Amino acid sequence: MTFPESETRADVVRLADPDDVVPEDSVVRDNLRGTPPRLPPWLGYDAVGSRFFEQITELPTYYLTRVERGLLERHASEIAEALGGGRIAELGSGSAKKTRLLLENCVRLRPTTYLPIDVDESMLRSSAATLRSELDGLAVTGLWGRYEAGLEWLRTHPGEPLAVVFLGSSFGNATREERDGLIGEIARCLRPGESFLVSADLDKGREALETCYNDPPGHSAFADFRLNYLTRLNDRYGADFVLDDFVPKAWYNAEASTVEGCLHARAERTVHVPGLDLTLHLPRGRFLNVGYSVKFDEQGLADEVGAHGFTPRARWVDSEAGYGLFLFRRDQS
């Protein structure tokens, strides 16, 4: 599959129009027809969704960002050294505030080019501009598009040694099948000896996870973020979702070790999605899945990534919080 570089601006390459209708619309349609209906994470991240996500990271109960930042504050110099690579690509870079801690250390060691990949153009442009202006010696080329398009670009633009990083435990937002596809694509971008750094949240059971993934009293960041998926469907496909008809709530699925962010129908509803030529009949209580977060165990993660030709090289884990950064090295193929 090739993705056209349809436009190149100063420091952001538009890989392919993220609003292109084919084949992504068929992905959304298939997901909505599934049981339960599920919406892909990239749909939730327009400028508004990214703002809501930033508000989630500031919730007192959302430990993931805080713990990851703490790990990077303590270990960034060691991680930068172990990572190697004159080019650091990041999947789902978002605001890149935490990545900055790593990049500061990378530029001290070697000239570094940062290649953030994200679907949200506004966040990508502002984080790229901020990093470029504030970190001397850092070159930045943003890659605007989906993970697969960014990885394809990296594969077809070889250069200095490359490291791929995937922070924010976003790797866990993909299903097992999607993760296998992604690791395979990452493996194809990397030469033997190059690095893949991924953060992962470890399973810690229902109470801690449901507290983390629901709004504490007086806050609405998760609710706003989840309901924004319906706004996106209304705007993009002319759907007639009424936001008040749905209750946002996350629950822990112990069998699958996942937290599922859901929108439950308050009453029986029929929703039309003309842009996808789809009508959804939702009985009372039926939910749409708008967030999927896998909780790993370390061995499972090592096996999953290892199956695609990677060897674990180092780990930085906050064992109290049950969250870690895991470094893998690409094997000889």
Ligand X SMILES: C[S@@+](CC[C@H](N)C(=O)[O-])C[C@H]1O[C@@H](n2cnc3c(N)ncnc32)[C@H](O)[C@@H]1O
Binding interface with ligand X (CB under 6 A): 41-42, 45, 50, 53, 65, 92-94, 98, 117-120, 123, 146-147, 167-168, 170
93 vs 228, which CB is nearer to ligand X?
Answer: 93
Report whether 151 contacts 189 (CB < 8 A).
yes
Q: Which two tokens stand for residue 298?
A: 């370390």
Any residues with CB less than 8 A from the CB of 322 and at least 6 apart, and which? 201, 202, 203, 204
Q: Estimate to the nearest angstrom the gap between the alpha carbon of 25 and the chain centroid.
A: 19
Report whether 143 contacts 149 (CB < 8 A).
yes
85 vs 142, which CB is nearer to ligand X?
Answer: 142
91 vs 262, which CB is nearer to ligand X?
Answer: 91
Residue nearest ligand X, CB atom distance: 168
Helix H or strand E segment including 313: strand 310-318
Q: Could you tell me if residue 326 is left (phi over 0), alpha (psi between -120 and 50 degrees) or otherwise beta?
A: beta
126 vs 245, which CB is nearer to ligand X?
Answer: 126
123 vs 223, which CB is nearer to ligand X?
Answer: 123
What's the min distance (Å) between Cβ of 240 and ligand X?
26
What's the min distance (Å) between Cβ of 284 and ligand X?
31
What's the min distance (Å) between Cβ of 205 and ligand X?
22
Count of Cβ atoms closer than 10 Å to residue 18 Cβ: 18
Q: Rounding to the nearest 10 degrees, give the CA dihedral for residues 95, 97, 103, 108.
A: 140
What's the min distance (Å) between Cβ of 97 and ligand X?
7
What's the min distance (Å) between Cβ of 245 and ligand X?
26
- Cα 227 to Cα 120, 203, 233, 262: the distances in Å are 18, 26, 10, 9
What's the min distance (Å) between Cβ of 45 and ligand X?
3
Report whether 209 contacts 169 (CB < 8 A).
no
94 vs 248, which CB is nearer to ligand X?
Answer: 94
What's the min distance (Å) between Cβ of 279 and ligand X?
27
141 vs 170, which CB is nearer to ligand X?
Answer: 170
Q: Is the peptide bond before 158 cis (omega within 30 degrees of 0)?
A: no
127 vs 257, which CB is nearer to ligand X?
Answer: 127
Q: Could you tell me if residue 117 is left (phi over 0), alpha (psi between -120 and 50 degrees) or otherwise beta?
A: beta
What's the min distance (Å) between Cβ of 288 and ligand X?
17
**Per-residue buried b or exposed e for 316-328, using 16+ beta carbons within 10 Å of the residue's own CB:** bbbeebbbbbbbb
